[in-house]
A and B are shown apart, each in its own frame.
Chain A
């Protein structure tokens, strides 16, 4: 993947300059601010992996035909953060056929994450609705400062600890207050453990996950 470091007056200028240096249109590159001071910004600009078919799109919140959905989602999220009053950068961290991962970096990430990721999940939900209006094409995952990976690790640890307790005490252990995606992580971690079974019971929002010792 080609990338270039540029110094410019603003993020937008850096993006335009970087794109030009790479011989690409502005919507075909990602930008991340490395440093900013009174003179402007030093930014890293890199080419995004996307179909070359994308024509230069006009700036519009509506998805132009052929415009990458990842770029539309990134721009949508960046505008949301600007209006919330956060100085944050959004970059496309990963893109596959059915998923785009956006990562927010900057100060005050706690504001955008919220307690237990509540705000991050609301933002993710809204961005998905806003950019997938003409039928869902790619799921948009919104992350901030690697929060989702840290949360995943924490949930994996919780899964293993509670599975051990279920085995030791020979009884079912209940986990409450998890979202569907979080329960799925627990189920996945334990699906190959021959000594426990996991299932969910009850109705949202009080659905709970049970880790139960397997009777041999």
Chain B
């Protein structure tokens, strides 16, 4: 029995590992008909830590999440929200 990806937990683990205020991290799963959107909220001063220069960190998070989603045959999007 192959384990399933745990998307919200995965994003929570990554984001908490990047920020100064892990207790302010919130991951909201918004299920849709075609794809599930995951919204990441962090403390204001941590926004740069999850976005990075030219969105490099945000894109790395998306790449890893997409790999997990493809593995679990899901369609997802990851957004950073205020």
Closest beta carbon of chain A to B75's beta carbon, Å: 16
Interface size classification for chain B = 20 to 34
Q: Which residues of chain B come closer than 8 Å to A83, judged between CB atoms?
A: 5-6, 9-10, 13, 68
- The answer to whether B60 has its CB under 8 Å from any CB of chain A is yes
Render A155-172 as a binary contact track against B, CB cut-off 8 A, 1 for contact. Answer: 000000000000000000
What is the number of residues of chain A that contact chain B, defined by CB distance less than 8 Å?
Answer: 23
With A85-B5, A111-B71, A122-B64 known, 17 other A-B pairs at CB within 8 A are A80-B64, A83-B5, A83-B10, A83-B13, A84-B68, A85-B3, A85-B4, A85-B6, A86-B71, A87-B2, A122-B59, A122-B60, A122-B67, A123-B60, A125-B56, A125-B57, A126-B14
**In residues 47-88 of chain A, which contact B (Cβ within 8 Å)?**
61, 76, 79-80, 82-87
A126 touches B60 (CB 8 A): yes
Chain A interface secondary structure, helix, strand, loop or mixed? Answer: helix
B64 touches A119 (CB 8 A): yes
A118 touches B10 (CB 8 A): no
